Amino acid sequence: MTLELGVAELAATRFAISPLSETVACLLQIAGLDRNPVNLPWLRWAQEELDREPLDLSRTWPLLVNGKLSWPEFLVPAPRDSGASLDNDLDALRRTPEARVRASLGRVFGGRLPTAAAALADNPTSGLREIADELREAHDRLVAPHWPRIRAVLDADVGFRARQLTAGGAERLFADLHPDLRWRADRVTLAGERWRERHSVVTRGPGGLVLMPVVLGSPYVLIKKNTSTQTTIRYPARGTGALWAAGTPSAGSSTVRLLGRTRADLLSALSSPATTTDLARALGVTPSAVSQHLKVLRDSGLVARERSGRSVLYLTTPLGERLL
């Protein structure tokens, strides 16, 4: 897939976090579409939750799980700002123009719409309200219980990408987002084994791109081919692999001898971003003791910290990762 990206569009490219994107992504994971192995612990939990009390997704599910290669673009509109607000995401979904709804359904399903898509095309305003209600319930049940940890990983990813952009510009940024993605000579190219059988040109939406890390999603990059909002590039968030690890992973014996047990375990636990309170709870020590150990690790360049809303997140640096 190729996408033309001029200087003006590159200058307007931004990052955003979307709770609605995570919700749609997790439903696709439950359906078994492009399943990401790193999320299997969450998936087992989600399936037990749904076995206990199923969700009513009669409007949404047929649009996502449809036997096609894509799903309607209006289900994940580009966030208006860099914040993470489910209310804003759902409001943008509900406000999709009727003509855009019908055009998107036509691109996905062709001339003969299945029952759920046909009902939405007949009455987009009412249908979008019902879809938004279903997605809110799905978010509250499947995403919200884990959102603080998911948000921490997303915030840490955006912070890391911002440093990549500062250090090496757009070329460094795009080269590190995903192995299948490249930017060169005013063009973003998505290649790799998955895309070998087909080639397409993306019809870019207005303005720059919106780069969106995703935790509960596919291991692949997803680019909207057509959109009524800004074109989004959704990619696997850095650090997702450590998010669902059961308990706190044990550091290796060499690291323990060098740092001591508590600091080595702290460093290992921070493969996934966490707050001081999270770490104290996981390791069974006081928050003040955690703070003292974190200061030593930060002074040694093994741990960094970033602000996420009102919280301060700690995570291992590349040096810390190499030591582990």
The DSSP string of 31-61 is: TTSS--GGGHHHHHHHHHHHHHS----TTTH
The answer, yes or no, to whether residue 20 has pLDDT greater than 90, is yes
Question: According to the model, what pLDDT value does residue 248 have?
Answer: 47
Q: What is the mean pLDDT of residues 215-221?
A: 92
Question: According to the model, what pLDDT value does residue 174 have?
Answer: 86
What is the rounded average pLDDT for all residues in the chain?
A: 87
Calculate the CA 238 to chain-centre distance. Answer: 9
The answer, yes or no, to whether residue 16 has pLDDT greater than 90, is yes
The answer, yes or no, to whether residue 247 has pLDDT greater than 60, is no
pLDDT (tens digit, 9 = 90+) per residue, 63-95?
Answer: 999 988 789 999 999 998 776 799 999 999 999
Question: According to the model, what pLDDT value does residue 168 have?
Answer: 85
Reported in sequence order, the residue ranges of the chain that DSSP labels E, i.e. its strands, are 2-4, 14-15, 181-184, 187-190, 210-214, 222-223, 232-236, 303-308, 311-316
Position 107: which residue type?
R
Of residues 228 and 133, more confidence is placed in 133
According to DSSP, residue 145 is labeled G
Phi and psi angles of residue 191, each rounded to the nearest 5 degrees, phi first: -125, -160
CA angle 123, 128, 132 (to 5 degrees): 155
Count the helix, strand and coil residues of the chain and give each as a percent rounded to the nearest 5. Answer: 55, 10, 35
The answer, yes or no, to whether residue 309 has pLDDT greater than 70, is no
- How far apart CA 19 and CA 31 sit, in angstroms, is 19
Question: According to the model, what pLDDT value does residue 295 have?
Answer: 93
Question: According to the model, what pLDDT value does residue 52 have?
Answer: 93
CA distances 65 to 34, 72, 84, 252, Å, are: 12, 11, 26, 43
CA distances 25 to 22, 44, 68, 172, Å, are: 5, 15, 16, 27
Question: According to the model, what pLDDT value does residue 308 have?
Answer: 64
DSSP secondary structure, 127-142, as one string: HHHHHHHHHHHHIIII
The answer, yes or no, to whether residue 22 has pLDDT greater than 70, is yes
DSSP secondary structure, 98-124, as one string: HHHHHHHHHHHH-SS--HHHHHHHH-H
pLDDT (tens digit, 9 = 90+) per residue, 109-145?
Answer: 988 899 999 999 999 999 999 999 999 999 999 999 8
The answer, yes or no, to whether residue 289 has pLDDT greater than 50, is yes
Question: According to the model, what pLDDT value does residue 197 have?
Answer: 58
CA angle 208, 159, 25 (to 5 degrees): 65
Please tell me the number of Cα atoms within 13 Å of 122 on its side-chain side: 7
Nearest to 11 by CA among 195, 169, 221, 238: 169
- CA-atom Rg of the chain in angstroms: 21
Q: Which position has the token pair 């897939």? A: 1
- 175-189 b/e with 16+ CB inside 10 Å = b? eebbebbbbeeeebb
Structure tokens at 324: 């582990």
Question: According to the model, what pLDDT value does residue 57 have?
Answer: 97
The answer, yes or no, to whether residue 104 has pLDDT greater than 90, is yes
Question: According to the model, what pLDDT value does residue 250 have?
Answer: 59
Question: According to the model, what pLDDT value does residue 246 have?
Answer: 45
